[in-house]
Amino acid sequence: MISIRGLTKRFGGTTVLDAIDLDIADGERVVVIGPSGTGKSTLLRCVNFLDRPDAGTIAVGDVVVDAERASKRDMLALRRATAFVFQNYALFANKTAKENIMEALVTVQRRPKDEAERRALAVLAETGLAEKADSYPSALSGGQQQRVGIGRAMAIGADLMLFDEPTSALDPEWVGEVLDLMRRVAEQRQTMLIVTHEMQFAREIADRVVFMDGGRIVEVGPPDQVLDTPKDERLRRFLRRVA
């Protein structure tokens, strides 16, 4: 169970997240949509403490962090309970595909190397990239890099996986394979919080869709309700634009 309460983030004078409340059940897939600059990335980054929230609490499993009182230990605990998939993949450039996946297991989770390697190879097989285990990121296509990025997040066994527009930086030809992999992750009942502009994919994968605008959650509900019978005028305008 993930519980976000009053999550607030300001950059300089502007409030980018305005007291966000959001609960996510175990195994639930929540998709966040909304216009550019409304704080979708910031929401995900605050949940992972890549950006430090100014106020609010985040509870992921046993880890409960109060933004105003978070210690370094809290911050690490929260990051270890969550996994982040970046828009630009952000694979470790000095490590092979396999080593990218092993890194968190060996360095952060302190698992034995051979066990981590077995796990990494199993995850790579799931991503369909077994034969790329020893390739460096620079030798992989965007789609392959992002599949390794998702593999890196899968291997951690995090309570919550965060995806920030995982297909936005991809050439259209690679989008399909990345969405396929995300579907497979979803089948494993992994709890997922996904920012995406792929409306068809959102409709298909989401248990709930969250529409954000101006740093607030404006509308939440099952995909057909939010996407087909939108109540808020801003959501209607947004949907007309992306349709």
Partner 1 sequence: MRALDLDYMLGLVPVILGYVPLTLFMASVAMVCALVLASLLAVERVIRVPGLDWLVMLFISFFRGTPLLVQLFLFYYGLPQVLSFLAQINGVTAAIMGLTLHFSAYMAEAIRAAIIGVDRSQWEAAQSIGMTPAQMMRRIVLPQAGRIAAPTLVNYFIDMIKGTSLAFTLGVTEMMGATQKEAAGSFLYFEAFLVVAILYWIIVETLNQGQKQLETYLNKAYAR
Ligand X SMILES: Nc1ncnc2c1ncn2[C@@H]1O[C@H](COP(=O)(O)OP(=O)(O)OP(=O)(O)O)[C@@H](O)[C@H]1O
Note the residues at the interface with partner 1 (CB under 8 A): 48-50, 76-77, 79-80, 82-84, 86, 88, 90-94, 103-104, 107-108, 136-139, 152, 156
> In this chain, which of 22, 30, 39, 41 binds Mg ion, going by CB under 5 A?
41
Q: Does 38 bind Mg ion (CB under 5 A)?
A: no
Answer with the entry of ligand X, partner 1, Mg ion, none that 16 interacts with (C-beta below 5 to 8 A by kind): ligand X
CB-nearer residue toward Mg ion: 41 or 167: 41
- Binder of ligand X out of 30, 31, 40, 194 (CB under 6 A): 40
Q: For residue 162, give the nearest of 124, 129, 140, 195 by alpha carbon.
A: 195
Two tokens, residue 183: 């579907």
Packing angle of the helix pair 113-126, 142-156 (nearest 10 deg): 130
11 binds, among partner 1, Mg ion, ligand X, none (CB under 5 to 8 A by kind): ligand X
CA distance linking residue 58 with residue 227, whole number of Å: 27
Give the integer Cα–Cα distance in Å for 152 and 52.
Answer: 23
Compute the distance between CA of residue 99 and CA of residue 96 in angstroms, rounded to an integer: 5
Give 57-60 contacts, CB < 8 A, sequence gap 24+.
57/3, 57/4, 57/5, 57/6, 57/7, 58/2, 58/3, 58/4, 58/5, 58/7, 59/1, 59/2, 59/3, 59/4, 59/5, 60/2, 60/159, 60/160
Q: Does 196 engage in binding with ligand X (CB under 6 A)? A: no
**Cβ at position 3, least distance to ligand X in Å:** 21
Residue number with CB closer to ligand X (37 or 112): 37
Give the phi and the psi of residue 6 in degrees, each rounded to 5: 60, 30
Query: Going residue by residue from 151 to 190, which x/- string records binding to ligand X, judged by CB under 6 A?
Result: ----------------------------------------
Shortest gap between Cβ of 176 and partner 1 (angstroms)?
24
> In the bound complex, what is the minimum distance in angstroms from residue 104's beta carbon to partner 1?
4
Please list, residue by residue across 11-44, b when 16 or more beta carbons sit within 10 angstroms of its beta carbon and e when fewer do.
Answer: eeeebbbbebebebeeebbbbbbbeeebbbbbbb
11 binds ligand X (CB under 6 A): yes
Six-digit token string for 46: 């605050």
- Binding site partner of 121, from Mg ion, ligand X, partner 1, none, Cβ cut-off 5-8 A by kind: none
Q: Which is nearer to partner 1, 25 or 64 (CB)?
A: 64
The contact set with ligand X (CB under 6 A) reads 11, 16, 34, 36-42
The contact set with Mg ion (CB under 5 A) reads 41
